[in-house]
Structure 1
Amino acid sequence: MKKKFLYYSSLLLLFTSGCYKDVPVDVIIDPQGAAQGDVVGKVTVGYQGWFSALGDSSPFNQWYHGNLEMWPDTREYQNLYTGTYFGQDGVQVGPFYGNLGNGQPAKMFSSYDQSTLNLHFKWMQQYGIDCAALQRFGNEIAPGEVLKAQRDGVALRLKNAAETYGRKFYINYDLSGTTDLAAIKADWTNTIVGQLKLTASNAYARQNGKIVVSIYGLGYARHTTSPADALDLVNWFKARGCYVIGSCPGQWRTGTGDSRGDFLNVYKAFNMISAWPVGRAVDASYAPWVEGDRDFCKANGIDYQPCAYPGTAYSNSNGQNVSPRNEFARKHGDFMWSQFAAFKKAGVPSVYVAMFDELNEATSIFKVAEDASMAPAGKYFLNLDADGVHVSSDFYLRLTNDGVKMIKGQIPYTEHEPTPFTVN
């Protein structure tokens, strides 16, 4: 999604609409939160869905987004593909037909494959993740373009998976690569609502009876959209009965750093605000930052959804001279838990997690390689044992589940994560 910036006892079974598959006994739900809607009082994960592979029968049918910083744990996937490209210290290499460190063939999944989406949403169900925000990139939605067809196909498969596993989803427009707001309006009307009919799904997220949509990119210093045009877009969605989330720059309130100073009235128009933190340290300024955002939102009648991330690095894309390896270290869960702890102390009920499947910037919380035995042999990837502690490939899914339980008041507040590093 965004390039790096320095920032679920039992499941309620809805028998009237059919039983959900593979419902585990230890999944958590918050009845009060359920009454509030699908994003307030819930945990949402960002979902890229942008990985494709040669031979996956997708419109693109080529390797795409192979600049991987982490390697996925692919043991549970139904369909995998060989010959992927990937980055190494800023240089793309491949096609790679070699093995993992354990001697098994190195294969990659495709996000266009329905079995991939089903597995990911099964994990979301198992680990208590309520909702997924599907990233839709404003520079990839031109009618007739192959990337639009790719994105449309992934969106339909994601809808199917969400319906199958009882999760919610919504569209998150990423405007970082475009200022064509008319194209966003046309895409929502003609494709999301019209052609794909995503919002007609019982899995499409609603809050306060309104369809949820999120917008990322407005208000960044590098983005040239005017406040008037940005406000027009927000109000356009609201006029169509949407609950609009603003995924804002980290310093949105102050208009400093990555944020423009003339967007305050735009931010006030959002129904919910979620500041982008990836690349921000958790230091003495972190809790006051969260509390300041909370207080501003409360004072202005806006819902608040802080964003947590497990760590990030981007060396295989940019090279070590630009982006050091393991730059914002995960510290075997300590880094992410410190964010959950700050949210709990601040009394906020909703959380966005960046990201579920973001292998490129090493923010992924889904199952990835534990150590060098599970990554391509002789190649560098940021494996989960990078900080000297071996954790299982599902550790960050389990840690997120524990963090959600703490936020929802189902386990007590604890400063340090209670999540075991490994499970039997």
Structure 2
Amino acid sequence: MVAGCRIAYGTASSAPQVSASDDVVGRITVGYQGWFARIGDGAPINAWWHWAPDSQKAPSPTNKGIKSWPDVRECSRTYPTDFPNLNGVEKAALFSSYDQQAVDTHFAWMRDNNIDAATVQRFNPYGSEGPTRAVMAQKVRQAAEATGRKFYIMYDASDWTSMQSQIKDDWTSKMKAHTASGAYALQNGKPVVCIWGFGFNDNQRPFAPAPCLDIINWFKNQGCYVIGGTPTHWCKGEGDSRPGFSDVYHAFDMISPWMVGRIGSTAQSDEFFANVNTPDQPDCDAHGIDYQPCVMPGDLQERHRAHSDFMWRQFYNMVRVGAQGIHISMFDEYNEGNQIAKSAESSAQVPAGSGIWALGEDGTSCSFDYYLQPTGDGGRVLKRQIALTATRPTRPRV
């Protein structure tokens, strides 16, 4: 992408000049965790992975790792838990991401709602989770190929002390092979890789600028288009950003600032639009960098969603700021309650006494697939297929 290559949207904004071969610019990408498993499902990790804090015991009201309850009616294989029955009497069961059918189903939901691409979340693959994550990358590849979706690797640098050497080895020995797939995302003709976590001002990501810059340049020398999952306040180098990382941020081909936990209302979205996103875009333009801000459905358990008004306000603001792409955080993040994947739509579909809110928590009845629909509509606005409007076009239930 060449800096300044934009198409005007009315008088208030601009838009990416999109080629039919672009898989990130002008597209909607969702973060796909794919990190749920169950003892005995065949996954090498052999645990209730991410479903329960004590992963050697079944999920229960006292061993609960999730904030939202998934809708599993389209999963051919589910696993009973120690939660009470759902309020609607059915047994409380969960899916495993290790079942190919579950991943295929999730990618079919993406296809049916015009979601273009998904990131494969890849944490430190040299620990106990490594073998399972390697298989999950292959399962995502198979699902993307079957549904006509694109996928790419998103490395998460969190708690990865030997990252500088190991990330290069992992790409060369394992993940690069996936770029041979016709479903692997390309931008400007280059395979896409995202590295999330450089510059964050916390103990999980204590890296200095030099090793971060080394990694970015190494991937670019491998012929990759490199996205940076950066702190929210990367542009000013304050708040959640360490100082002295400007050269690191400006080395990326695309910047995707993190937003989870930063806002929870339409008013806060407007505040960030004015004070954060609006300064971000011209800085990216000046350095020839594409801008891919996050859009979130909101933490369901914290009751942020307002039957999608919160999510739609973010779409409205990010399109009018001129973003080149949008990253949805996240597709299947049932742990933080920020999922757009199909979920319990009413109290009858959550375990009795669990305290978990369903999609209709604010009194507006929402269908179980509702948050997939405004995601698709947001993509149509980004692509100029429907008009930009401050009022969401999606109804909670059809």
- TM-score by length of structure 2 reads 0.88
- The residue number in structure 2 matching 1:387 is 362
Q: How many residues align?
A: 362
Q: Give CA deviations for 1:81-132 in whole Å, capped at 9, x if unaligned.
A: 112xxxxxxxxxxxx1531111111110001110011000100000000000
- The residue number in structure 2 matching 1:109 is 95
- Partner secondary structure for residue 210 of structure 2: helix
1:338: Cα distance to partner? Answer: 0.4
- Partner secondary structure for residue 79 of structure 2: coil
- Partner secondary structure for residue 118 of structure 1: helix
1:294: Cα distance to partner? Answer: 0.9
Counterpart pick for 1:135 among 113, 121, 131: 121
Q: Give CA deviations for 1:297-337 in whole Å, capped at 9, x if unaligned.
A: 00100011111001126xxxxxxxxxxx516x111101100
Aligned residue identity for 1:189: T
- The residue number in structure 2 matching 1:188 is 171
- The residue number in structure 2 matching 1:13 is none
Work out whether residues 270 and 317 of structure 2, in 8 Å CA contact, stay in contact via their aligned partners in 1: no
Matching of residue 272 in structure 1 with residue 254 in structure 2: yes
Partners of 2:383 and 2:190 in 1: CA distance: 23
1:284: Cα distance to partner? Answer: 4.3
- TM-score by length of structure 1 reads 0.83
Partners of 1:240 and 1:401 in 2: CA distance: 33
1:68: Cα distance to partner? Answer: 0.5
Q: Give CA deviations for 1:138-177 in whole Å, capped at 9, x if unaligned.
A: 2xx11xx541110011111110000000000000000112
1:256: Cα distance to partner? Answer: 1.2
Counterpart pick for 1:165 among 135, 139, 147: 147
Counterpart pick for 1:206 among 186, 202, 205: 186
Counterpart pick for 1:231 among 195, 213, 219: 213
- Partner secondary structure for residue 78 of structure 2: coil
- The residue number in structure 2 matching 1:341 is 316
1:296: Cα distance to partner? Answer: 0.6
Aligned residue identity for 1:213: V
Partners of 2:134 and 2:33 in 1: CA distance: 13
Matching of residue 293 in structure 1 with residue 273 in structure 2: no
Partners of 1:301 and 1:380 in 2: CA distance: 47
Matching of residue 219 in structure 1 with residue 199 in structure 2: yes
1:133: Cα distance to partner? Answer: 0.5
Matching of residue 55 in structure 1 with residue 71 in structure 2: no
- Partner secondary structure for residue 135 of structure 1: strand
Gaps of 5+ in 1: 1-31, 84-95, 314-324
Partners of 1:256 and 1:388 in 2: CA distance: 39
Percent of matched pairs sharing the same residue: 45
Work out whether residues 355 and 364 of structure 1, in 8 Å CA contact, stay in contact via their aligned partners in 2: yes
- The residue number in structure 1 matching 2:73 is 75
1:34: Cα distance to partner? Answer: 4.8
Partners of 1:36 and 1:343 in 2: CA distance: 23
Aligned residue identity for 1:215: I
Larger deviation, residues 211-220 vs 346-355: 346-355
Work out whether residues 253 and 293 of structure 1, in 8 Å CA contact, stay in contact via their aligned partners in 2: yes
Mark the CA change 1:34 to 1:110 in structure 2 (over 3 Å): closer, same or farther: farther
1:192: Cα distance to partner? Answer: 1.0
Counterpart pick for 1:309 among 287, 296, 301: 296
Aligned alpha-carbon RMSD (Å): 1.5
Aligned residue identity for 1:374: Q
Aligned residue identity for 2:97: S
Aligned residue identity for 1:409: R
- Partner secondary structure for residue 33 of structure 1: coil
Work out whether residues 54 and 81 of structure 1, in 8 Å CA contact, stay in contact via their aligned partners in 2: no
Partners of 1:283 and 1:55 in 2: CA distance: 43
Partners of 2:19 and 2:136 in 1: CA distance: 27
Mark the CA change 1:234 to 1:54 in structure 2 (over 3 Å): closer, same or farther: same
Partners of 2:197 and 2:260 in 1: CA distance: 14
Work out whether residues 55 and 81 of structure 1, in 8 Å CA contact, stay in contact via their aligned partners in 2: no
Q: Give CA deviations for 1:197-224 in whole Å, capped at 9, x if unaligned.
A: 2111111111111110000110001122
Partners of 1:69 and 1:413 in 2: CA distance: 32
Partners of 2:179 and 2:116 in 1: CA distance: 17
- The residue number in structure 1 matching 2:26 is 41
1:286: Cα distance to partner? Answer: 1.6
Q: Give CA deviations for 1:168-201 in whole Å, capped at 9, x if unaligned.
A: 00000001122322111111111112xxx21111
